[in-house]
């Protein structure tokens, strides 16, 4: 493979889009006549630059060998530093709740894929695709260990049964802080997406399917030039897809939380609107992450595909409950305020 040059056009376009969106978000404060407000907005805007730079550094460089060999934490040192950054954002947002949305959405969430994409555009090494710029991240990504030998059928059966039990248990773990008057406009599609309205399984397999579809579209259109017949390319493809799924979870949950999954008034009074929404998003993220891990567990240690298993379980559950339930189905229409 020949070396390539950085994609300057991609770098410029993505930088303009991202920091242009941040400017649009803070435009009122940046153009304010009050100097303190203007300085605070400028600090927030400038904070995105070192954060994106850190994400790029994490994807493009290796840790010193002395650090990487530290037992237990050396391999995940970059991830631990990233978590510390998120904790510092949380402390800042706790002091000033009005910053919750900008710190967690504009910087932490959107800055992560932007930094990874910029790292890919700057990649100049070998490989058939610029996605090899994320290989360091893919190599340390935690995943379910593959079985070394043949897995007995009884073990597969017990693994699949255990995963089903966990899945049905999660569909009954309701989201803390969700308003009782919330109306899920997509409730009729939840069983198809293996989700359960109002529970931590609200998103179901949506992020997994979305991430898979995006990767398949990009691969089919030759936007990402990976040969899935090659073991190295296939491993990279699967690793990047896992990263994309993690990014898709908050991207799918945040619009729903700010759209129709309203927090309860009690939680809003205790923590404020920003932290109340963050609490719901966090629970949705944990539920979707567990589904993602369970899907991988079934695929490697169980029977068939986890996605197919969850869809079949969700449809069977809704059909069984809907058929035998003595309670009539009541459509509740909420009045407009």
> pLDDT tens digit string along 137-172?
888 777 788 888 888 889 889 999 999 999 989 888
Q: Alpha-carbon torsion 273, 274, 278, 281, what sign?
A: positive
Q: What is the pLDDT of residue 306?
A: 84
Would the pLDDT of 49 be above 90? yes
Q: What is the mean pLDDT of residues 181-204?
A: 78
Range name among 107-111, 121-125, 251-255, 323-327 with the lowest pLDDT average:
323-327
Would the pLDDT of 28 be above 80? yes
Would the pLDDT of 335 be above 60? no
Would the pLDDT of 222 be above 90? no
DSSP 302: S
Instruction: Report the residue count for the chain.
Output: 337
State what percent of residues in the chain have pLDDT above 90: 31
Q: What is the pLDDT of residue 337?
A: 47
Give the tokens for residue 240: 């990047």
Nearest to 259 by CA among 331, 202, 318: 202
DSSP 176: T
Question: To the nearest whole number, what is the mean pLDDT of the chain?
Answer: 85
Q: What is the pLDDT of residue 54?
A: 95
**Contact between 85 and 57 (Cβ < 8 Å):** no
pLDDT band at 111; cut points 50, 70, 90 = very high
Q: What is the mean pLDDT of residues 56-72?
A: 84
pLDDT band at 331; cut points 50, 70, 90 = very low
Q: What is the pLDDT of residue 327?
A: 56
Q: What is the pLDDT of residue 271?
A: 87
Q: Of residues 310 and 50, which shows the higher confidence score? A: 50
Q: What is the pLDDT of residue 132?
A: 87
What's the CATH number for 152-325?
A: 1.10.3370.10
**Contact between 243 and 137 (Cβ < 8 Å):** yes
Would the pLDDT of 115 be above 90? yes
Q: What is the pLDDT of residue 333?
A: 42
pLDDT band at 283; cut points 50, 70, 90 = very high
Domain boundaries, the chain: 1-140, 152-325
Q: What is the mean pLDDT of residues 86-109?
A: 92
Give the tokens for residue 69: 């060999």
Distance CA 334, CA 312 (A): 31
pLDDT band at 322; cut points 50, 70, 90 = low
């Amino acid at each position: 493979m020949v070396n390539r040059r950085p994609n300057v056009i991609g770098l410029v376009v993505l930088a303009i889009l991202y920091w242009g969106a941040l400017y649009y978000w803070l435009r009122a404060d940046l153009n304010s006549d009050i100097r303190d407000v203007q300085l605070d907005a400028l600090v927030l805007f400038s904070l995105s630059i070192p954060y994106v730079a850190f994400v790029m550094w994490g994807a493009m460089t290796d840790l010193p060998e002395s650090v990487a060999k530290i037992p237990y934490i050396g391999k995940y040192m970059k991830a631990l530093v990233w978590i510390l950054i998120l904790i510092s954002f949380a402390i800042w947002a706790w002091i000033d709740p009005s910053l919750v949305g900008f710190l967690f959405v504009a910087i932490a969430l959107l800055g992560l894929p932007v930094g990874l994409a910029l790292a890919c555009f700057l990649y100049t090494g070998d490989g058939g695709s610029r996605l090899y710029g994320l290989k360091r991240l893919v190599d340390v990504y935690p995943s379910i260990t593959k079985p070394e030998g043949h897995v007995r059928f009884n073990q597969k059966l017990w693994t699949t049964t255990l995963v089903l039990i966990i899945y049905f248990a999660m569909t009954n773990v309701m989201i803390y802080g969700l308003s009782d008057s919330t109306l899920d406009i997509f409730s009729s599609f939840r069983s198809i997406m293996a989700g359960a309205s109002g529970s931590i399984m609200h998103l179901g397999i949506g992020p997994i399917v979305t991430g898979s579809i995006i990767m398949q579209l990009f691969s089919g259109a030759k936007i990402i030039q990976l040969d899935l017949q090659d073991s190295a390319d296939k491993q990279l493809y699967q690793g990047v897809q896992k990263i994309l799924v993690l990014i898709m979870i908050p991207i799918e949950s945040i619009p729903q939380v700010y759209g129709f999954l309203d927090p309860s008034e009690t939680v809003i009074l205790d923590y404020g609107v920003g932290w109340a929404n963050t609490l719901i998003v966090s629970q949705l993220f944990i539920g979707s992450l567990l589904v993602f891990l369970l899907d991988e567990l079934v695929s490697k240690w169980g029977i068939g595909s986890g996605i197919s298993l969850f869809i079949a379980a969700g449809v069977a559950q809704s059909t069984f409950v809907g058929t035998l339930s003595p309670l009539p189905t009541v459509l509740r229409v909420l009045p407009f305020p």
